[in-house]
Amino acid sequence: MVRKIKLLFSSARPKQWTKNLVIFAAIIFSGKLFETALLLKTCVAFISLCMLSGFIYILNDILDVEKDRHHPKKRNRPIASGEISINEAFFAGVLFFLSALFFGIIAGSGYLIAAGMYLLLQIAYSEFLKHVVILDIIAIAAGFVIRAVAGAWTIGVPLSPWLLICAALLALFLAAAKRRHELLLLGEISDDHRPVLSEYSMALLDEITSTLSAATVTTYSLYTFFSHAKRGGYMMLTIPFVLYGVLRYQYLIHTKNEGGNPEDILLKDKPTVINILLWILSVIVLLYFRL
């Protein structure tokens, strides 16, 4: 029983929940991080979004079980391998969805609207968008933008359009890198797992990642200047962290052939982890404690 529970929990892909940390962007950049009530509300929304993500991952594994069995790595997932039955997975998915709804109600109507948009986007992605070249990675990026919007709507603060564009460009970059890794890993059998990969080429994806990496750094640089000019433009001091992070990721996808699972890099690549922590620390210091 304990093993079954662990397998069901792993099917919800808790490592992927790191993506939901984007929901904290609004409270950090709005200058309200230390307002306890709003911070607690954002934390509740984060928990709900993680539960909702778990439901979506389980549902996708149920729907894609046959395709996943052709994938060299995904065929080892609990549902694809047969260790967890479809009925067991469905029951776990329902529990995750109900948990998401429970915490979502606590987080408030603003969050629930954003969460509903996120759910509809994921359904559209699973059923249609993931099969359309270019639109597939745009849909992934839209998911990150909705996460950021969810954080803003949860606490009722405006979110800078610059920040939303930065989140979208970074997400597009990560999605293109993921497609590149899949194309490299699957090779001739890529059509069996993800038919849209036949529409991509390594050269195209390399061009896309290069363009998006440059656009991400440029947009973030402009954001730190225009959105914080009245504070002296000190946020521009955080640009080197973003530049290093993007270039480090480029290094990993082109030299180490990584990028298939961004969450693994965020959790395991020490230079990336240290850089992110330093970026977060510098942002908080400059926004809240600058003398």
Instruction: Spell out the domain ranges in the chain.
Output: 8-159, 160-291
Phi-psi region of 224 (alpha: psi -120 to 50; beta: other; left: phi over 0): alpha
Q: What's the CATH superfamily of 8-159?
A: UbiA prenyltransferase (1.10.357.140)
Q: What share of the chain is helix, strand, coil (3-state, %, to 5)?
A: 85, 0, 15
Of 49, 86, 44, 43, nearest to 64 by C-alpha is: 86
Q: The tokens of 66 are what?
A: 């046959």
Of 143, 135, 139, 145, nearest to 166 by C-alpha is: 145
Long-range contacts for 244-248 (Cβ within 8 Å, ≥24 apart)?
244/275, 245/272, 245/275, 245/276, 245/279, 246/170, 246/173, 246/213, 246/216, 246/217, 247/213, 248/272, 248/275
- The pLDDT profile of the chain, 291 residues, written as one tens digit per residue, is 667 777 777 777 888 888 899 999 999 988 898 899 999 999 999 999 999 999 988 888 787 776 766 666 666 676 776 677 788 888 888 999 999 999 999 999 999 999 999 999 998 988 888 889 999 999 989 999 999 999 999 999 988 888 889 989 999 999 898 888 888 876 655 555 667 888 888 889 889 999 999 999 999 999 888 876 566 578 899 999 999 999 999 998 888 777 667 777 777 889 999 999 999 999 999 888 864
**Which of the 8 DSSP states describes residue 159?**
-
pTM flag (> 0.75): yes
Looking at 187-257, list the stretches that DSSP marks H as alpha helix, in order from N- to C-terminal side: 190-193, 202-226, 239-255
Residues 272/251, Cβ–Cβ less than 8 Å: no
Helix 161-186 crosses helix 135-155 at what angle (to 10 degrees)? 140
Q: The tokens of 1 are what?
A: 């029983």
Cα(82)–Cα(85) distance, integer angstroms: 6
> Based on the number of CB atoms within 10 Å of its own CB, is 78 exposed (0-12), middle (13-18) or buried (19 or more)?
buried
158 CA to centre of own chain: 21
